[in-house]
């Protein structure tokens, strides 16, 4: 079973629109970590955020915000006032505790295209 599901394969928006990328995860561990990475066309994965399972506070960083809800096993990512430079593939990832600590399980990614 897929541990991380990103149901949106592609999203297109026009500059200055807000956009939310969905992420649903599955784990039996009580301690786990969730991540978002950005992959521009160059290919390098850029770390955006890490949350642990005990911290459900939403976080805002500039135009980026994250909504973590354990009740629905979701960790959604919103970009406010999108810009062309936000165009990239975005990956949600999960790291569980125990013997697989440090191993990242990635979703299939969401291709975001922001048009001028």
Partner 1 sequence: DAGVTQSPTHLIKTRGQQVTLRCSPKSGHDTVSWYQQALGQGPQFIFQYYEEEERQRGNFPDRFSGHQFPNYSSELNVNALLLGDSALYLCASSRTATYEQYFGPGTRLTVT
Residue 55 φ then ψ, to 5°: -120, 100
- Closest listed residue to residue 90, CA positions, set 33, 21, 26: 21
Q: What are the C-alpha distances in Å from 72 to residues 28, 49, 51, 75, 98? A: 14, 19, 16, 9, 23
Q: Closer to partner 1 by CB, 52 or 81: give it.
A: 52
Q: Closer to partner 1 by CB, 64 or 80: give it.
A: 64
Q: Closer to partner 1 by CB, 75 or 105: give it.
A: 105
Does position 42 bind partner 1 by CB under 8 A? Answer: yes
Catalogue the long-range contacts made by 57-66 (C-beta closer than 8 Å, 24 or more residues apart): 66/36
Does position 41 bind partner 1 by CB under 8 A? Answer: no
Does position 64 bind partner 1 by CB under 8 A? Answer: no
Rule CB under 8 A: choose which of 25, 36, 37, 68 binds partner 1: 37
Does position 102 bind partner 1 by CB under 8 A? Answer: yes
Q: Kindly state the greatest CA–CA separation across the chain.
A: 46
Does position 66 bind partner 1 by CB under 8 A? Answer: no
What is the contact surface with partner 1 in residues (CB under 8 A)? 4, 33, 37, 42-47, 50, 52, 91, 93, 95, 99-109
């Amino acid at each position: 079973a897929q541990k991380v599901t990103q149901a949106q394969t592609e999203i297109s928006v026009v500059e200055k629109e807000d956009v939310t990328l969905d992420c649903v995860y599955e784990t039996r561990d009580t301690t786990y970590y969730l991540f978002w990475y950005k992959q521009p066309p160059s290919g390098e994965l850029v770390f955006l955020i890490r949350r642990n399972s005990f911290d459900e506070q939403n976080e805002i960083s500039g135009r980026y915000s994250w909504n973590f809800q354990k009740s629905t096993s979701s960790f959604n990512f919103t970009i406010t006032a999108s810009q062309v430079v936000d165009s990239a593939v975005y990956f949600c990832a999960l790291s569980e505790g125990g013997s697989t600590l440090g191993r990242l399980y990635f979703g299939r990614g969401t291709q975001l295209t922001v048009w001028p």
